[in-house]
Structure formats: structure tokens, C-alpha cells
Amino acid sequence: MNWTLYLQLSLMMFLQFAVWGAWSPVLASRLLGPLKMSGKQTGWIYGSIYIGCIVSPLIAGQIADRWVATEWFLAGAHLAGGLLLLAAARQRRFGPLLVVMLLYALAFAPTLALIYSLSFYHLEKMKHLTFAVLVWGTIGWAVAGWGLTLWRRMKGSGEGADCLVLAGLLSLALGVYCFFLPHTPPSGGTEELLPFLKALRLLGDGNFLIFLIVVFLLATQLQFFFLGTAPFLGELGVQGRSIPAVMTIAQVAQVGGTLTLFFWMTPIREAIGYGGMFMAGIAMWLAMYAIYTFLPRRGPVIVAQGLHGLAYTFVIWLGNFYVDHVAPPDIRGSAQGLYTMVLFGLGFFLGTQFTGLVMDHYKIPGGTFRWRSVYLVPCVITAICLAAMTLVG
């Protein structure tokens, strides 16, 4: 085992998701609270990242795959992203903040695909270590949340722009670190402008088509967790400065789920198949939203954060392996691109808009929400997804 390579890739994964985890779980509290933005406006701020995910195959595919070494592209993207996040922390109006976050999305979104392509390139002969590297992304997300909580406890306040400042500083650190990653040269190939279109032939496979539709629907309901959980916890009595740490319970559970797949994925898959594993993950999300809807008390909702972490592992991460399993070797890269676009691009973006509209519809005077009505929506969507997944072999 090449320990130097493992540590290099693990630290890259740690910092990549620490950047995202520093602001994503808690920014909604600042937008809906001190900045007095609407649910629709909050949806647009969060949706900016997913707009980037729709166009990122064009950026990453044409630049990193043809002309620039991957580590250099990552370095430039994260350095630019760090400066933009620091600029975003200074914005208090919707229009300027949206512009800055859209620019940040164009810098950050391509890195989501490139960190995986860089890792897979160097782990080609050590594929058994893939989960051991991926787990550090989850740990990075959690540590960022704990660090923000510690800072807020020392400062004595929450819901500030500090989440964006922390993310910006981490992004600058990652940008510098990327210069020291293993060299990953551009392929110099002549990929199509939209290579993921080649994977559309897979839609002729009924199982894959159902899987992709379910993933899209799940991506839309996930935004009820990302946009709503922080303010929901606040109304249940969790202090704003403690919310980041509470939400990292999901990442702790995700680490456990990832390690479970690292050691026992093959026997579990042989016993219940991919469909069974997906159903287990979706059932965990359904249980979480059922708690949010019908048992909206602080203790159960805090415990339910762990269900999200396990579900994310058994659906979203496992989905990458399912795509690799069903796609022919010559279009696996294109199939992964299609999966990423449906999930992080179309699904997450439309999900933020849908969630924002639902939250605005059930908003009541004083800035609070009829949370039972809000969370009944993803509860129903998730139940439909669970029923549909029974058709996947």
C-alpha cells in the first residue's frame, strides 16, 4: 500500500467537503433569519451551486481533460472560490449575494467531478481503498461543522457570516494544497462536447431508467433537509451556535455506513442486491421525514440526523457503484456524468426551487413555518420513491 498517496488523496477529500460542509448546512438560517430572505430567494442561493453542476461537465471536460493537469485546475478553482466565498460573506442583499454565489458555483462545481477522477486515476490498481479515501470527505464535512460550532460558542452567537468566512479560508488552503497533489496529466483526447449524452442508451434498460427517475425525485426531496433542518432545529429550541454540531450527527452516521460498505459491501449485495440496499436507504429517509412530520420534538429530530447520513451512503454514494456496475466499460465515464447531472444538477437545482416555494406557501407571520405541512411533502415523495424502487433488480 502506498501510504503517501493514500494520505494525499484523503486530505484532498477531507478539505473538499470541509469547504462545502462549512456553509451548506447552516447558511439557510442566516438567509431566512437575519437577512430576511424568502424561501424562494433562499432556494435560488442554494440552487446556484447546482446550476454550476449542470454546466460543470462542459468546463471540466474541455479544460482539465484536454489542456490542463487536473491538480492545477483544482488549485485555480479553489483559490478563486475562496476569494468569492469571502466576498459572499460581506453581502447582505439578495441580488449581489446571488451573483457572487453563481460565480462561486462555476469555480466549485467542476471540482466535485475532478476530485473523483483524480482519485480513481491514481487508485486504479488499489480500488479496494476507494471507500477508505471517500470516508474522509464525510469526516471533513463533520469537522467543519464542529469547528464552526466551537467558534460560535466562543463568540457567543450564531447565524452569522462566519460560515462563509470559514469556507473561504478552507478553500484557499485547499487551493494551495492542490499544487502538491500527484500529477494527473490531461488525457489530450477528443471527447465530445457533451460526452454524457452517449450514456443515454442506458435508458433502454428499465432498471436503470427507474433508478435514475427515483434518484431525481430523491434529489428534489433532499433539499427539504438541507434548507429546512437548520431553522427547524432552531424553532425546536436548539441554539443557533449548536446547530452545526447537531447536524454533523449525519456525517458520523455516514462514516459508519461507509465503513460498513468498505468491509461488507459484497456479501450485502449478494444477499439483497443493489435494489435491496437502495430500498434500505430510502426507508431511512422516509423514517427521518416521518419523525420530522409526526414527532416534531427536539430529541427525536436530533436522533433522526443519523438516518440521513446512513441513507445518503446507501443511496447517493452507492449509486456511483451501481452505475459503474450496469454501464459497459466504454461509456462508464459518460454514465457517471449523466448520474451526476441528474442528481447534483437537475435534481438538486429544481429541488431548491420546489422547496423554496413550499416553504413560502406554509410560512406564517413572524417568519416561522407550518413545519408539519412542509415536511409532509417530502414524506410523500420519499414513500413513492420507496415503492418505485421495488421494481429495480
Q: What is the mean pLDDT of each run of 10 residues along the chain (393 residues)?
A: 85 95 86 85 86 72 70 94 96 94 90 80 71 86 87 72 93 97 74 58 84 94 90 89 84 87 82 91 97 95 96 89 77 70 87 90 87 96 93 68
Measured between alpha carbons, how far is 19 from 125 in angstroms, rounded to an integer?
Answer: 29
User: Measured between alpha carbons, how far is 38 from 59 in angstroms, rounded to an integer?
Assistant: 31
Cβ neighbours for 117, distance < 8 A, ≥ 6 positions apart: 64, 70, 184
Q: Are 57 and 114 in contact (CB under 8 A)?
A: no
What is the third-level CATH fold of 3-389?
Answer: Growth Hormone; Chain: A; (1.20.1250)
pLDDT at residue 98, rounded to an integer = 95
Report the pLDDT value the prediction gives residue 75, as an integer from 0 to 100: 96
CA-to-CA distance for 295 and 265, rounded, in angstroms? 33
pLDDT, position 193: 47
Domain extent listing, the chain = 3-389
126: exposed, middle or buried (Cβ count in 10 Å: 0-12, 13-18, 19+) = middle
DSSP conformational letter for 186 = -
Task: Give the H or E element holding residue 369.
Answer: strand 368-369
* Per-residue model confidence (pLDDT) at position 121: 78
Q: Report, in angstroms and rounded to the nearest whole number, the Rg of the chain calculated over CA atoms.
A: 20
391 secondary structure, DSSP code: T
CB distance 43 to 357 below 8 Å: yes
Cα distance between residue 13 and residue 135, in whole Å? 8
